């Protein structure tokens, strides 16, 4: 479920319906709370596409939002609790029981302050017992149910999610899963590739076609189309943007090839490599000692990321599940089952 919230009606809305209405109701919408929760204002990278503002109020970061009843301010913890409460209510209706315990997956680079803020959000949502699980570790749980991992294997888990890029190195020792080290980057996820494409296409629309998307709500149309183009370039050699989606008087297209996209993304790949090698160094393991590479997150569908991993680890066994977007949630569910049942997964 996309972590979007809208305050455009009497009752808040969450998820995909908010994304679908962004063109018309953007000013009432909030997202990216995970990139903001538990952080100082000075360390937050401001996105010019945000329909909301963030500010510092009594040493706390606050969202300045529009609601049906006028302007309001909410903390990241309050907003995260709305999302968690929404998910909780759906699950309680499905299971016909009250839920008081939860497993929440978090990026491996989350600070203690970010964890505490997330824990507070879960408490506000009505959970009494909260377990945290690093996202790469959750993915590893799921992979272990799909393939048999030999003893003494060294595993690198590469998690390229929507917001972050996480690397975790682990070892299987006497059937126990031991975390050796992890590292990550808070601004190196799928949305950062989307923003790069947005910058590329918006510049062409402005300078070649005299259409400034930043001056109207069609910027949210372009935002969604950039995500779609990114997805298509994982399967096709090229794709295009229809100009008449922005200017009805122009029926041309702006083409982009996978090669162009990968060239634009070269700095992201360099940063990803840096995170990988930093984690290897901290773990005191060479790349030749990595037995398995587990690919996690929708970003791992991109051929350039698969190619990068193959080049760094040519002798490793590379595993990419058919559902990289869901595998972290799957692993969290397995971990929750183990906690409640006391049985090994």
List b or e across 141-160, with b for residues whose CB sees 16 or more CB atoms inside 10 angstroms: bbbbeeeebeeeebbbbbbb
CATH H superfamily, domain 190-264 = ATPase, substrate binding domain, subdomain 4 (3.90.640.10)
Tokens of 129: 């017992």
Correct CATH for 148-188+267-325 of 3.40.50.300, 3.30.565.10, 3.30.420.40, 1.10.760.10: 3.30.420.40
Residues 146, 125 contacting (CB under 8 angstroms): no
- Per-residue model confidence (pLDDT) at position 148: 87
Per-residue pLDDT, 38: 96
Longest dimension (CA), the chain: 67
Give the side-chain half-sphere CA count within 13 A for 253. Answer: 10
**Placement of tokens 């397995």 in the chain:** 334
The closest of 74, 88, 91 to 125, measured between CA atoms, is 88
Average pLDDT per 10 consecutive residues for the chain, totaling 345 residues: 90 93 91 95 92 93 92 97 98 96 94 97 98 92 88 94 92 85 91 96 95 92 96 97 91 96 98 97 96 94 97 96 88 93 67
Contacts 24+ apart (CB under 8 A), 94-100: 99/126, 99/127, 100/126, 100/127, 100/128, 100/129
Domain ranges of the chain: 5-74, 148-188+267-325, 190-264
**pLDDT score for 251:** 87
According to DSSP H, which parts of 257-344 are helical?
A: 258-264, 266-283, 303-312, 327-341
* pLDDT value for 14: 97
* C-beta of residue 161 within 8 angstroms of C-beta of residue 237: no
Cα separation values, 62 from 43, 154, 176, Å: 14, 42, 42
**Fold (CATH) for 5-74:** Defensin A-like (3.30.30)
User: pTM for this structure?
Assistant: 0.90
Q: pLDDT value at position 345?
A: 56
In angstroms, the CA 154 to CA 211 distance is 52
Report the DSSP beta bridge partners of residue 63. 54, 74
Name 177's Cβ contacts closer than 8 Å, sequence gap at least 6: 137, 140, 144, 170, 171
Q: What is the pLDDT of residue 202?
A: 97
pLDDT at 49: 92
């Amino acid at each position: 479920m996309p972590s979007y919230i809208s305050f455009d009606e009497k009752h808040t809305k969450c998820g995909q319906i908010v994304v679908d209405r962004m063109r018309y109701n953007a000013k009432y919408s909030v997202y990216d709370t995970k990139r903001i929760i538990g952080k100082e204002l000075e360390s937050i990278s401001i996105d010019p596409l945000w329909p909301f503002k963030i500010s510092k109020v009594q040493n706390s970061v606050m969202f300045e939002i529009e609601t049906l009843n006028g302007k309001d301010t909410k903390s990241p913890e309050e907003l995260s609790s709305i999302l968690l409460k929404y998910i909780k209510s759906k699950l309680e209706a499905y299971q016909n029981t009250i839920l008081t315990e939860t497993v929440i997956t978090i990026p491996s680079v989350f600070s203690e302050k970010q964890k505490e803020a997330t824990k507070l959000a879960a408490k506000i949502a009505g959970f009494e017992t909260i377990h945290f699980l690093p996202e790469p570790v959750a993915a590893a749980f799921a992979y272990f149910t799909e393939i048999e991992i030999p003893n003494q294997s060294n595993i690198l888990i590469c998690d390229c999610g929507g917001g972050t890029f996480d690397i975790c190195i682990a070892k299987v020792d006497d059937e126990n899963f031991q975390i050796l080290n992890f590292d990550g980057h808070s601004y190196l996820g799928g949305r950062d590739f989307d923003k790069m494409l947005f910058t590329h296409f918006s510049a062409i629309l402005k300078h070649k076609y005299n259409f400034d998307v930043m001056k109207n709500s069609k910027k949210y149309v372009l935002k969604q189309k950039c995500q779609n183009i990114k997805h298509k370039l994982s399967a096709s050699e090229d794709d295009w943007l229809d100009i008449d989606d922005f200017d009805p008087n122009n029926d041309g297209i702006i083409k982009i090839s996978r090669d162009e996209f990968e060239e634009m993304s070269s700095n992201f790949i360099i940063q990803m490599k840096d995170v990988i090698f930093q984690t290897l160094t901290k773990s005191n393991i060479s790349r030749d000692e990595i037995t398995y590479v587990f690919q996690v997150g929708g970003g791992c569908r991109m051929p350039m990321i698969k190619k990068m991993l193959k080049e760094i680890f040519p002798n490793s066994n590379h595993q990419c599940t058919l559902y990289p977007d869901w595998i972290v949630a799957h692993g969290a569910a397995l971990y929750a089952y183990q906690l409640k049942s006391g049985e090994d997964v």
